[in-house]
Every structure is written in C-alpha cells, then in structure tokens.
Structure 1
Amino acid sequence: MEFTWTPEQQDLRASTRRLLQQRAPLARARELAEAGTRHDPQLWTAMAQQIGLQGLALPEDHGGSGGSLVELAVVLDEMGRVLLGGPFLPTALAAEALVASGDDAAAGEHLPAIAEGERTATLAVAGPDGRWGAGNRTARGSGGDVRLTGTAELVLDGADADLVLVAAQGERGPSLYAVEPAADGLTAQRLDPLDLTRPLARLHLSDTPARLVGEDGGAGEVLERVRRTASILLAAEQVGAMSTLVDLTAEHARTRRAFGRPIGAFQGVKHRLADMAVRLEMSRSAAYWAAWQPPGSPEAALGAAVAGSYCSESFLQTAKDTIQLHGGTGFTWEHDAHLFLRRARADATLAGSPAEHRAALVPLVLPELAEVPA
C-alpha cells in the first residue's frame, strides 16, 4: 500500500499550523518558558473548540473524533515546529492508557472531559531509573479502597494535571490506578526541567487513595502500548522541530555574509546543511511509517523502535549543527536554538533512550539472536 495524505489530513495540518502561528509562535514558547508559566489556557480552549485536537484520536462513543495515530502525529509535528509544551502530550498519552486499559467506566468518566478540553491528565509511570513500570510504587487494598505508596519520577505536568494515572505494583502484578490531584498523601514536587517548555514534577504518594483502572495486574501490556505511542508522537514532534531548525539555518546561511559572500556558498556549510536536510527527511519517513501501522501490531512495535532510535539522535545532532552554523549568535541565550537543544536532550528520557530502542529492535528483526542465552 502507498501512503498518501488524505484531504482531511491536509486540512488538519493547515488548520493546526494556522492556529499555532496565530496563538503560539516560537516567541510565545520562549515567553512562557522564561516566565515559568505552564501553558496558555486560551490556546488550550481554542484547540478544543476550534479544531477538536484534544479529542482527535479518542473513540467517538467517548466524545472523540475517532481519528488515528497518523492524525495525532500530524498535530504533534506542527506543535514541534513552535516547541509547544504544556499538557497536550501527557494528556494524549494518559487518554491512550485509558483506552488501552479496556475500562469502559473509567474511559466514560474521564475521556469526554478530556475531549472537550475541560480536563488534563498525565502518566506517573517512571521509576528512579527512568524506566516505565511500577517502579517502587506499591498498592494495597482492593475494590474502592486502594492505597498507593511510593515515588514517581519525571511526571510531565505532574503538579498541575487534573488526573494522574499511576502505575504501581498490585496484588497480581503491575496495575494502573487513577488518582485525583487533591488526594490525601499526594505531594507534587516541582522540578527544574532541562526543557523549559515542559513542566516536570516528582510525585510522592503516602497511603494515597486511588481507584484501579483496567484489570489488576494488567498494566504491563497497557504501558508497553502507550510507550510505543509516546515514541511515535515524540518522533513526529521532533520532525516538526527539525523542520524549523533546517529553515532557520538555511535562512541564516543565505543572509549571513563572510569574506564578501553568503556563508551558504562555502562547501563546509553546504555539506552540514545537506546532512541536516537528509536527517529530517529520513526522520519524517520513520515517524509517519510508524504512525501508519495498526496499533498493537508487530509492525507498530518495529516502527516505534526505529523512530525512537533514529529521530531522537537526529534531532539532537540537528540542534547542535544549528548552534554551530549560527556561529557566535547561536551560542547566546537570546537565540532560540537553545530551546531546541534542551528539548532534544530532554526527549531522550521520556520514552526510552535511543540505545533502549535499538535493543528492542533485536528480537523484532533478528529473532534468532533473542533466543541465545546471555
């Protein structure tokens, strides 16, 4: 099958880009970051009411539009162009977890409000080592009387989200639990993030009341599916960010002059720009091929691993090249290249490092090696 953009997807991209250009240009991301502001509430409302972005990939019977991961990737691509942070990505991943859990009651309770832009959500799934899972968090009790204890690291929007989905060790294994932000025993410690556009928090749970989402012991498969989705969406976002970096650097090469001619005329600069453009196109292919695969399929697992491995490293190198090709200007705080470099560095911690993604590729492309004892 040949992948082509549908008219609806092209319209979605155009509408999203227009809204972000008007309400959230790159200068706005810097303004919010320097002010320490979580996000722009007016933009959040506009995304929900004008385009329906929060409910784009949610089931129609829960207030969503029933779109696919491709449409969501298009949106993240456009958000990456302007380094939009805030609650969109963590809310999208938490919503994916609710859908994947198969818990219709929990989905019916939370997804319609998420689709309307009335509620934000996040996942508390990282342990002290940054890996997704139950970590050191434990759950005791059953039914409506469950209590959580432990710590969750690197929680996106963790201090401000309206709903927190926590992975913890239940009686039958890793399980997913819904926790209200005002619950007793829940303390959010705001962190000083490397990526200033994305608020982070460390959550401390001490005998915190929670409610089971999905099956007891069923979080393993749910988290793996969501982690793959996170890898694909991050890759799409990185593609958008790289697009901006390539445009900024090419424009600088055309207008900055040295020895009487544009620096883009020098062979060394041309080669670096060509490398940046090649990385961008290969990243775009990897990200959208992964998003195009059926969720939960072996192809989706393969695509997520490839995208997570390649796009993250490509984004980081492209950000470094942008700073270097801008010369002394690129090294100053006033230039936006700093924000892109910080985003690139931070992205590698959110859904697994490139090395972890490459390790996940081994059993997918060379299954015979996975059977060899260590």
Structure 2
Amino acid sequence: MSASMSIEDRLAVRETCRSFLEERSPVSHARAIMDDGPGVDPILWKEMAELGWCGALIPEDFGGSGLDLEFIVILMEETGRQLAPCPIFASALLATSALLEAGNDELNARLLPELAAGTRIGTVALSDAGAPPDGSGVSIEADEHQDIVLLSGSADFIPDLHVADFTIVAARRADRTLGFYLLDHGLSGVERTPRRMADLTRRLGRLQLKNVELPRSAELVDPSRARRLAGRLTDLACLGLAGDCAGGAQKLLEASVAFAKTRFQFDRPIGSFQAVKHRLADMYVLTETCSAATARACRRLLADPESSTVASLAKSIASDSYFEIAESAIRIHGAVGLTWEYDQHLYLKRAQLNQRLFGDSSWHRDRMLSHFVDREPTTEQNDS
C-alpha cells in the first residue's frame, strides 16, 4: 500500500484489528445492534478510541495516533468484514480528514482531541439526493452577513448523522462558490431524519436546515480551497468504501469455500462439482481485484492527494465486484443464503448500498473520463 509500513507491519496490524473485532464485534453482534435505534455500540466505540482507532489520522499533538491512510484502509476492511456497528467511516475518516485538510487551527484544537477520544462524533454532508457526490450539486445555501451565516436547504444520505454531534456541511455561497461550515446539531433550525434503508447494518440520515445561524468563524476553509476540499473528501470516501467492500468480499469468499466443503449432495461435497469450483474461482479473482484496486488507490492517494482517478476507479471496481461476489455467495448457499438466519443477505444489501453511496459506478467512470477530456462529469446521479 505504501512504503510507510512493511508487509510484516501490515500483517500484524490486520491481525490485531481482526482479532479484536472477531471477539468484540462478530456479525452476531451487528445483528443484535440492528434493531437498536442508534445502530451503534457506544461501548465498542469507546474501546476503539482506547485502541487509538478513532484518532488514527489525528496527529499525536491533538491526542491521536498520527497514522496515515494505510491504517484506515485496513481498519475499513476489517470493520466491513464484520459489519461492525461503528462510525469509523463518518468520523475517523471523513470528518477528521475534513478538519485536517482545512487546517483551521482554532477548530482543530477544539475538536480533534474530542474526536480522538471518541467523546464526539462528526460526519460530512457533501450533496443532496440525486446530486453528484463531489459538492457540485449542493442544495444548501449560505447567506452571509457581516457577523453571521444563515444556512438553509437539505443534504441526504449522510452516514451516521443520527449519532454525530456535528456535521461539516458543503453549501453554496451567494457568489455561487462553494463553502464548508461546521454545523452543531444542537442549533435551532436543524432537523435530522433517519433514512430507512435495506441495509440494516448502517444508518444514514437526511439533514434539513431552516435559517440556521452560524458565526462567521464556523466557516472551515477559504472559498478558494473549498472545491479542492470537496474533491479530496470524495476521494477519501471512495477509498473508505472500497476498503469496506474488500473486507466484506473476503469474508463472503471464505464462508462460501467453507460451505462448499461441508454441504453434501449426491454423497459428495458440492465444492467437488465443476460449476461450483468455477464460481468460487471467479469469486476469488473478484476478491483479489477488489483488494488490489483498494491498495493501489491508497498508495496513489498517499503519494499524490490529487489522484482522483484512482479513487474513482477503486470505488467503482470494488463496489461492483462486492455486489457480484455477494450474489455468487447466495447462489452457492442456495435458498438458505436468503434466509434471515444466514448472513449472506446482510452483505448483499451492504454491497448494494456501497454501489450507490458517494456516486455510482457510472458517475465515477465519467469522473475518470473528465480527467482526460475537456468536459465536466454528468450531473445525473441516481438516488441512493
């Protein structure tokens, strides 16, 4: 992934993460949390903070672990593997990265230590339903006055909005440039509505703002840098979701191989039949492709933060591969794969949502193409 961590170190980190999550957050734990309102285990989150995971990207001066994207990708893979009920993606990756990229010393000194300690949770709102995920189609308007900013509008499909203490909101300024604002959820005029999704392992929400008054100091970054920040957050979201896909795909492959060895028909394990062998081989190739695309994107984003093409490539490849792997896993398990008692359907629904979050594959292919030809990506984006 990067030269900052040796193969041995990567294996050790992965083993540590996997061992902890298999013990503290097996898929059965995710099932138990699914029916809970928040859908997040606060005790698990506290333990993750104690391990330094919540502040993985945060410098040590602010109470974090001072690690890089390489660790976060491993963490996203392992939490995706277990369907862990925690806001690592929203808070430890997106909100933290937004603050670090913006470089607002006052806000960083106040918020980063709390994010690292797990006592506060943040998330990011880049777009409304049906809009491109890179901030180019925001529907929140920022009406700036001398000392205050009024925010009105909506954003949708925001990860872990219901448990977050604040959202970093992208909004359109009066001069049509982009701005980013720190929005505390306790302010008057802020309405959060949970989204009911087929994927029960995660929670998304809709944010509605009606003349929410913010101080001018709540603006995160100078407007001249806002567009770049939006692109960077889109890239990091792609990388995080690709990691989630890679972890889930690996778990499905392992479960399918184990099932094919122990499920007998005609006095033979079904794994001995050629059709099943071929399907498992295809799943293996897709799983390796998923992991390789994610690893390459991580390497490139560490070396060159402007590498949007590899981020989009990783997201489109990983999410489509994950969905195909999940479908194959259900076919190998047969009818029981769709029953509530088996886990395959949980991964299938998660894969479907990953395909839609932060841009579908069609949008990302167009985004990649726009880097090579002189045109903008299409503004068409299917609802999640």
TM-score range, shorter chain: over 0.9
- Deviating 4+ runs (over 4 angstroms): 1-4
Q: Distance in 2 between matches of 1:326 and 1:244?
A: 14
TM-score (norm 2): 0.91
1:343 to 341, 347, 350: 350
Q: Tell me which residue corresponds to 2:173.
A: 170
Please list, as runs of the form range in 1=range in 2, the aligned pairs for 1:287-366 lying within 5 A after superposition: 287-295=294-302, 297=304, 300-364=307-371
Q: Tell me which residue corresponds to 1:254.
A: 261
Q: Is structure 2 residue 61 aligned with structure 1 residue 61? A: yes
Q: Is the 8 A contact 2:120 2:165 kept in 1?
A: yes
Q: Distance in 1 between matches of 2:213 and 2:63?
A: 28
Q: Greater CA deviation, 165-174 or 294-303?
A: 294-303
Q: Greater CA deviation, 288-297 or 345-354?
A: 288-297
The change in CA–CA distance for 1:131 and 1:58 in structure 2 (over 3 A counts) is same
Q: Tell me which residue corresponds to 2:14.
A: 13
Number of aligned positions between the proteins: 369
Q: Tell me which residue corresponds to 2:244.
A: 237
Q: Tell me which residue corresponds to 2:226.
A: 219
The change in CA–CA distance for 1:75 and 1:143 in structure 2 (over 3 A counts) is farther
Q: Distance in 2 between matches of 1:151 and 1:105?
A: 27
Q: Is the 8 A contact 1:291 1:300 kept in 2?
A: no
Q: Greater CA deviation, 300-309 or 324-333?
A: 300-309
Q: Distance in 2 between matches of 1:117 and 1:232?
A: 22
Q: Greater CA deviation, 215-224 or 82-91?
A: 215-224
Q: Secondary structure at the match of 2:161?
A: coil
Q: Is structure 2 residue 106 aligned with structure 1 residue 105? A: yes
Aligned-pair distance for 1:18?
Answer: 1.6
Matched AA of 2:207: L
Q: Is structure 2 residue 283 aligned with structure 1 residue 279? A: no
Q: Distance in 2 between matches of 1:148 and 1:22?
A: 44
Q: Secondary structure at the match of 1:308?
A: helix
Q: Distance in 2 between matches of 1:218 and 1:300?
A: 17
Q: Secondary structure at the match of 2:170?
A: strand
The change in CA–CA distance for 1:280 and 1:255 in structure 2 (over 3 A counts) is same
Q: Tell me which residue corresponds to 1:123.
A: 124
Aligned-pair distance for 1:2?
Answer: 8.4
Q: Which runs of 5+ in 1 are unaligned?
A: none
Q: Is the 8 A contact 2:45 2:86 kept in 1?
A: no
Q: Secondary structure at the match of 2:202?
A: coil
Aligned-pair distance for 1:10?
Answer: 2.9
Q: Greater CA deviation, 26-35 or 283-292?
A: 26-35
Superposed CA offset, 1:139-180 (max 9, x none)? 112465111000111111112201111111124411001111
The change in CA–CA distance for 1:214 and 1:345 in structure 2 (over 3 A counts) is same
Q: Which runs of 5+ in 2 are unaligned?
A: 379-384
TM-score (norm 1): 0.93
Superposed CA offset, 1:123-152 (max 9, x none)? 122213142225211011246511100011
Superposed CA offset, 1:83-122 (max 9, x none)? 1233221112011111111222222221111011111001
Q: Distance in 1 between matches of 2:284 and 2:312?
A: 22
Q: Is the 8 A contact 1:128 1:135 kept in 2?
A: no
Q: Is structure 2 residue 142 aligned with structure 1 residue 139? A: yes
Q: Greater CA deviation, 180-189 or 329-338?
A: 329-338
The change in CA–CA distance for 1:361 and 1:144 in structure 2 (over 3 A counts) is same
Q: Is structure 2 residue 199 aligned with structure 1 residue 195? A: yes
